[in-house]
């Protein structure tokens, strides 16, 4: 705040002094009491209007109103979109409100008691938010908004997203026949890349390393290494409802268009792609490596593939897989 302002009585810029004052002001037909500041000319003592001080006093009035009427605080409102990784407009749509309603509350507008109670439940109860998200996701204009928020709320309610790769593996072993450890690694890699391309968010956050035989998820390698060149035991059943529509669409697209190839063929596919090639860089052909393929490189590459092949939905992945096979 600028401590030098114009005094109408002195007709010049002067330094101000402030003192605490007990205010009584009316808001929505009720009177509220709060302690704020008043500014005075440091030379003649006349009251001076200082916009910053008046803004602070207004905030204190709103705070008194919120406290008296049990209205959610502005800090709690601002924390909600951060907590659930969702934008202000998508959250308004999710709640069935006007598109700008939540934004106005973030800018200081006062919610009604009814809306305040809803927002407080969102702030305090991730399970309540998750129920809203799953039931009302069709209201959101962007599927990527849903996916990002879905990941965030799952982490909050105790479903760690780092287990998602195991869930994807379970589905692949249920849908595919004769999946070797080598083939599984490559199918996971294509799920990883193409899900980002279609949804602008990764389906799982596990790191992928550029090994001699293509991209590898180290933990997955150690889990299934005993199978060596044999097929991994298939799953007899799987609850497909665990996936969102977007997740299942991409995984099915990979199953339909890549699981028909052997692990060695899929290895050759990945050897022709930029992320693996650039990460290996100057390494000798058979040199062991634990270099991680940068996720941004994966995101950029598969997003570019989606654009190049005019993919409108995951079914269009077929055009890319066929092109790779023709090159093979």
Cβ within 8 Å of residue 185, ≥6 positions away: 214, 215, 216, 217, 220, 221, 263
116-119 contacts, C-beta under 8 A, 24 or more apart: 116/70, 116/71, 116/72, 119/72, 119/76, 119/77, 119/80
Is the pLDDT score of 82 beyond 90?
Answer: yes
Side-by-side strand order, sheet with 47-48: 4-7, 12-27, 30-41, 47-48
User: What is the pTM for the complete model shown?
Assistant: 0.56
Is the pLDDT at 160 greater than 70? The verdict is no
Nearest alpha-carbon partner for 291 in 228, 212, 219? 212
By mean pLDDT, which of 5-9, 186-190, 273-277 is the weakest? 5-9
Cα Rg of the chain (Å, integer): 29
What does the alpha-carbon distance between residue 78 and residue 207 come to, in Å, rounded to a whole number? 32
Bridge partners, 48 (sequence order): 39
In terms of phi and psi (left: phi > 0; alpha: psi -120 to 50; beta: otherwise), the region of 287 is beta
Q: Which residue has the higher pLDDT, 328 or 8?
A: 8
How many residues are recorded in the chain?
328
What's the CA angle centered on 248, arms 242 and 249, to 5 degrees? 160
Average pLDDT of span 192-212? 95
Question: How far apart (Å, rounded) are the C-alpha atoms in residues 185 and 241?
Answer: 24
Higher pLDDT, 246 or 328: 246
- Averaged pLDDT for residues 95-100: 95
pLDDT band at 162 (very low <50, low <70, confident <90, very high): very low
The pairing of strands 209-211 and 47-48 is unpaired
HEC states along 82-125?
HHCCCCHHHHHHHCCCCCCHHHHHHCCCCCCHHHHHHHHHHHHC
Query: Cα–Cα distance between 311 and 252 in angstroms, integer?
Result: 15
First to last CA, the chain: 68
Question: In angstroms, how far is CA 180 from the centroid of its own chain?
Answer: 33
Q: Are strands 209-211 and 214-216 parallel, antiparallel or unpaired?
A: antiparallel
pLDDT at residue 235, rounded to an integer:
83
Task: Give yes or no for residue 75 having a pLDDT over 60.
Answer: yes
Question: What residues pair up with 41 in beta bridges, in sequence order?
Answer: 16
Asked if the model's pLDDT at residue 1 lies above 70, the reply is no
How does pLDDT run across 270-303, given as a tens digit for each residue? 999 999 999 999 899 999 999 999 999 999 999 9
Residue 108 is predicted with a pLDDT of 87
pLDDT, the chain, mean: 92
**Token pair 């008043």 in the structure block, residue:** 38
Give the tokens for residue 186: 């490559």
Domains located in the chain, CATH noted: 4-69 (3.10.20), 74-156 (no CATH), 162-327 (no CATH)
Q: Look at residue 4 and give its three-state secondary structure.
A: strand
Q: What is the DSSP letter of 232?
A: P
Residue 130 has pLDDT above 70, yes or no: yes
Task: Give the whole-angstrom CA distance, residue 130 versus residue 115.
Answer: 18
% pLDDT > 70, the chain: 98
Greater confidence, 162 or 42? 42
Q: State the average pLDDT over residues 91-110.
A: 94
Helix (H, G, I), strand (E, B) or coil at 328: coil
């Amino acid at each position: 705040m600028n401590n030098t302002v114009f005094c109408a009585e002195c007709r010049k810029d002067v330094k101000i002094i402030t003192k605490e004052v007990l205010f009584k002001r009316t808001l929505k037909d009720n009177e509220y009491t709060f302690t704020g500041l008043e500014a005075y000319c440091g030379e003649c003592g006349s009251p001076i209007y200082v916009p910053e001080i008046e803004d602070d006093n207004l905030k204190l009035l709103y705070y008194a109103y919120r406290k008296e009427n049990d209205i959610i605080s502005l800090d709690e409102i601002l924390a909600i979109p951060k907590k659930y990784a969702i934008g202000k407009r998508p959250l308004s749509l999710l709640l069935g409100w006007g598109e700008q309603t939540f934004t106005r509350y973030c800018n200081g507008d006062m919610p009604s008691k009814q809306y305040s109670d809803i927002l407080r439940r969102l702030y305090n109860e991730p399970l309540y938010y998750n129920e809203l998200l799953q039931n009302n996701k069709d209201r959101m204009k962007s599927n990527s908004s849903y996916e990002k928020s879905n990941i965030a709320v799952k982490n909050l309610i105790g479903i760690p997203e780092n287990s998602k790769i195991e869930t994807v593996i379970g589905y692949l072993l249920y849908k595919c026949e004769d999946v070797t450890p080598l083939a599984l690694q490559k199918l996971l890699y294509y799920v990883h890349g193409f899900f980002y391309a279609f949804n602008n968010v990764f389906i799982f956050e596990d790191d992928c390393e550029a090994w001699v035989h293509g991209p590898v998820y180290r933990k997955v390698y150690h889990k299934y290494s005993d199978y060596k060149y044999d097929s991994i035991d298939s799953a007899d059943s799987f609850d497909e409802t665990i996936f969102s529509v977007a997740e299942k669409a991409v995984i099915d697209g990979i199953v339909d268009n890549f699981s028909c190839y052997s692990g060695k063929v899929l290895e050759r596919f990945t050897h022709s792609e930029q992320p693996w090639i650039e990460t290996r860089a100057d390494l000798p052909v058979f040199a062991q490596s634990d270099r991680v393929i940068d996720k941004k490189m994966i995101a950029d590459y598969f997003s570019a593939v989606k654009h190049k092949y005019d993919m409108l939905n995951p079914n269009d992945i077929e055009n890319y897989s066929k092109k790779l096979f023709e090159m093979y």
